[in-house]
Amino acid sequence: MKNILFGIILLVSTNCSNGPEPIKYGHDSCDKCRMQIMDPKYGTELVTSKGKIYKFDSVECLAFYAKNMNDDENSTLWVTDFLNKNELVEKNKAYFLLSANLRSPMGLNLTAFSSQTDLNKIKNQYQGKKINWDELIEYVNHEWQHKTMHH
């Protein structure tokens, strides 16, 4: 009986977690574009206040989804650190690089880092521009609205 009670408590506490879960690269699909999530340097997640997890293959898919389709103000957004594959970082603690020389899965060339030092190291190698989350959202919406209008 104690084991069943412990199992129920563990199950309830796990389901109430507001953190990310590991992305199964090669198996999970992007909740925005439906492509299979393949590159462990770019996977991202949105975790709702109720613990539901949405997975994405790129920062741009997460940004577009979060801006246009999610109205849960208490959700958390997670991005993969480019230099530490499989390490998800909360977006408020991440740094973002826009570099035409560093192609991301959906082609908007956005990459995330857990430290500004790592971002600077990659920026010196690939060039590009540091951007914050608000600029990133604006860039993604502009680029994809522009593509939609011309296709």
Answer yes or no: is pLDDT of 148 > 60.
Answer: no
Residue 12: per-residue pLDDT: 44
Longest Cα–Cα distance in the chain: 63
Q: Which candidate, 65, 57, 61, 64, places its Cα nearest to that of 25?
A: 57
- Which tens digits make up the pLDDT trace of 8-29? 444 444 445 678 999 999 999 9
pLDDT digit string, tens, across residues 65-115: 999 887 788 899 999 999 998 899 999 999 999 999 999 999 999 999 999
Sheet containing strand 88-90, edge to edge, reads 53-56, 44-47, 76-80, 88-90
Radius of gyration from C-alpha coordinates of the chain: 17
Q: Let me know: does 28 contact 37? Beta carbons within 8 Å.
A: yes
